[in-house]
Chain A
Amino acid sequence: MTQAILFYLYAAIALAGAIVLVRARNLLHGALGLFATIIAIGGLFLLLGSEFLAAMQLFVYGGAITVLIMFALMLAGPRVNSEDQPSRAVYWLAGIVSAAFFVAVALVLWRTEWHLSAPVVHDTASIAEILFSRYVLPFEIAGLSLTIALIGSIVIAREDDVLGDGTDGSDAPVGSTALPEDEGGLA
């Protein structure tokens, strides 16, 4: 009973946050809506019996990614004016596509017979057992790709404008300006 009450509470918070994110005029309010959704999904992870995922949700999403989005909003906030909103046809089309997708998923869920088994609480040790035995190679590759992606984002967002300023971007190849002295070392 408590579980049902908590589930509906978290679900309501998550949906309300998502709708705030979509409908908010000020994107800062939208980011706060995303934050509410993230917190609620962390609570749902806790209900699903994985306290490790709940903690990771709070750390990674609630902490790091939300702060990153806030920084990006303050550095490069949206400059779209109100007359730049998409036309009504776009809203209708997106609404129809989204509603059709939801109905399709709900129909599939309605008709599928799941082979359910009794829920088991996954403590952190049982996650780590699989992560560091069967999935150790994907784990290493994920860490490596995360490092590469973050180095790449530093290179892209650097002050001296890797993407060019539109005046001489056509004659200068991007790679030569992106990596001035490290190319010899990498090759």
Chain B
Amino acid sequence: MIGLNHYLLLGAALFVVGLYGALTSKSALRVVICVELILNAVNLNLAAFSSYVAPKQAVGMNFVIFLMVVAAAEIGLALAIIISLNRSNDIDAIDTIRRLRG
């Protein structure tokens, strides 16, 4: 029987894989994609909590919808920044970006 812990462990595993990818990659695009994976893992946790722990009201499901909005805004801005940086002077490795350090 599939219980709450199965979903939470799967969410934690996806989160950890995304965290590993975000920590080990030098490409800014891959970091952004890994952040998307992390947000997906959190979405899965929220939906599992909503349907197992507090199923009377669909509050967790609403949180998932809000998190999708945040993820869409985040990836739009991040990709715009990456494209702009790439157009200006051909950098993609994130440890060489120093424009905002002041």
Contact = CB atoms under 8 A, between A and B. Distances in A.
Contact of B66 (A21, A142, A166): A142
A80 B88 contact: no
A21 B76 contact: no
A98 B23 CA distance: 9
A127 B62 contact: yes
A37 to B, nearest CB: 6
A116 B53 contact: yes
A61 B67 CA distance: 12
Contacts of B71: 60-61, 65
B87 interface: yes
Interface string A24-55: 00010011001001100100110111101100
Contacts of B65: 53, 56, 127, 131
A179 interface: no
A72 B55 contact: no
A122 B50 contact: yes
The bracket for how many chain B residues form the interface is 35 or more
B72 A146 contact: yes
A146 B81 contact: no
A25 to B, nearest CB: 11
Given A4-B2, A18-B37, A114-B4, A157 B88 contact: no
Interface in A135-166: 135, 138, 142-143, 145-146, 149-150, 152-154, 156-157, 161-166
B58 A84 contact: no
A60 B89 CA distance: 31
12 contacts: A18-B21, A44-B44, A72-B79, A80-B93, A98-B16, A101-B12, A102-B16, A146-B69, A156-B77, A161-B87, A164-B99, A165-B88
Interface of A: 3-4, 7, 11, 14-15, 18-19, 21-22, 27, 30-31, 34, 37-38, 41, 44-45, 47-50, 52-53, 56-57, 60-61, 64-65, 68-69, 71-73, 75-80, 84-86, 90-91, 93-95, 97-99, 101-102, 105-106, 109-110, 114-120, 122, 126-127, 129-131, 135, 138, 142-143, 145-146, 149-150, 152-154, 156-157, 161-166, 169
Interface of B: 1-10, 12-21, 23-30, 32-34, 36-37, 40, 43-44, 47-48, 50-59, 61-62, 64-66, 68-77, 79-90, 92-93, 99
